[in-house]
Amino acid sequence: MEFAEKRQLWKKINALTPKKMELAHFLLNKIREGEDVMTLIRRHPLEGGGYLNKAALVAAYEQLIAAGSMEADTALLERIRMKPMRTLSGVTTVTVLTKPYPCPGKCIFCPTDVRMPKSYLPDEPGAMRALEHKFDPYEQVTNRIRALKNLGHPTDKVELLILGGTWSSYRRDYQEWFIGRCFDAMNELESLPAVEPQRQEMLDSSKLPGIHSINESAPHRNVGLVIETRPDEINPDELHWLRHLGVTKVQMGAQSFDDHILEINKRGHDVESTRQATALLRAAGFKIVLHWMPNLLGATPESDREDFAKLWNDFCPDEIKIYPNQLLANAELYEYWQRGEFHPYTTDDLVELIADIKPSIPKYCRVNRVIRDIPSTNVVEGNRRTSLRQDIQAIMKKRGTKCQCIRCREVKGKVVELSSLQLDDHVYQAGSAEEHFISFVTPEDGLAGFIRLSLPSNASPATGMSDLDGAALIREVHVYGQSLGVGVEKTGAAQHVGLGTRLLEEAERVAKEKGFEKLAVIAAVGTRQYYLDRGFERGEYYLVKDVIARSALGLRDEAIS
């Protein structure tokens, strides 16, 4: 069945006829009384077969509220929301893919499909959505936001995740047009041509700042903009360009920290390139995500354990994605396998390996993934299981070990006793910078919120951006709990109780104590007003605040009163 046919069928199934509306109203009242959502749905099938799904219940809830037949009930909506984990980390992520385009890399493990950007397959979930919309950025963002809203997720705070091989290799006019159209979708505007530009003048550099400005008070504010590129593409000029686009987080494929492994896998860069790129990104305040790939050609489980430990010397990424190498028929590595020169790890090998290394991950890092979303039908030999995270957690529980990474410590939807939170300042060295991971934690070490404060040294690489002269850098502020609408309150939620402001105050205190003249924050477009309301001013690429003349405002190590 084609994508368009599937979508029409979905709409037909979810059309709320009077009978469906009556059933939905009945189910919503039962759910409000405490009955289990899925049990109720299965117990009350539709006439003629089938069941109401959660999307239909959310739609019915919204229609009943609009008609005045039901009072708004946030707790009820949370109970019927599909996949609440999508927004439990505080923001709603919208993923889009760029068009197929040549990649400068020649990696032997990377799949090639002419329909997709390099390294992606057309039957991966996000890639399927992009292909359905012919890689049009406006359509991808609009439809994804609509789908998330239909499932009950708030969408006023959007992290935009742009995937598609090496972002930096695309023409800059295409990059600017692509991001402009993504922002038009978040701004709910149709201001630019829907056709991809062929010339720079279709979107000159004066237009994107205006589109950004609209987003500062738009229906869907951008709270993070993520691209993925290669370490050898990062230089000061690229940093300036990324800030012009509004990028706040950069993903890079490190893959390995062994030059020989990188060479025989035809990665095209060495470890020093990754080291320099990471240092430059840190000096410019970007959040850093590194991809690490076990089971490359030439690696063993033992060498991978040693390689993983190198992540925390100099590189110290804020987030990582563990992408075990998977043997695919449309990758050059397949030929090595056919000659008997490559052997994929078994699932048990992988689970044991990751269960061994996961407890070593520092508390300032978040593990976003432990495997790619590649359907098992594409895997020739080796692990085909996509539930590795659960398998690893089961092994670690049996061993009595645990991971202390951010994802494993987030409070998510738990009720937070604000009076019990303690302020913790975890200090570590990352290359030439002194990093402060300042967080509010529960007595059980649950993470309610944090701020990343980076203190560059004279040895830090020069970025050439005047906003950063003499500045301590705020690279991220994040407060956890179910993503709430702007101005919405929720009892016991970590968001919207002032934790972000108090973290900023502590960062200011530390910066002043360390002798810095000002603070610079790499603010996403939709968060600018938040920082402006807290004393920051607009610079060229950053929001800045003088701290020399200010008194120390921050909390120290006491609990929140």
User: Given a cut of 70, is residue 6 above it in pLDDT?
Assistant: no
The encoded tokens of residue 265 equal: 């896998």
| Structural domains of the chain, ranges and CATH numbers in brackets | 3-80 (no CATH), 84-227 (no CATH), 230-409 (3.30.750.200), 418-546 (3.40.630.30)
d(CA 208, CA 246): 9
124-153 pLDDT, tens digit per residue, is 888 889 999 999 999 999 999 998 887 778
438-496 pLDDT, tens digit per residue, is 999 999 999 999 999 999 999 999 999 999 999 999 999 999 854 334 344 444 444 44
Helices 236-245 + 271-283 axis angle, to 10: 50
Cβ-contact 525, 246 below 8 angstroms: yes
224-260 pLDDT, tens digit per residue, is 999 999 999 999 999 999 999 999 999 999 999 999 9
d(CA 73, CA 58): 12
User: Given a cut of 90, is residue 33 above it in pLDDT?
Assistant: no
d(CA 534, CA 520): 13
In this prediction, residue 16 carries a pLDDT of 75
H-helix or E-strand spanning residue 531: helix 528-532
d(CA 297, CA 336): 9
pTM above 0.75, yes or no: yes
SS3 518: strand
Helices (H), 454-498: none
What is the arithmetic mean of pLDDT over 269-282? 98
Distances, alpha carbon 79 to alpha carbons 36, 38, 75, 152, in Å = 9, 10, 6, 10
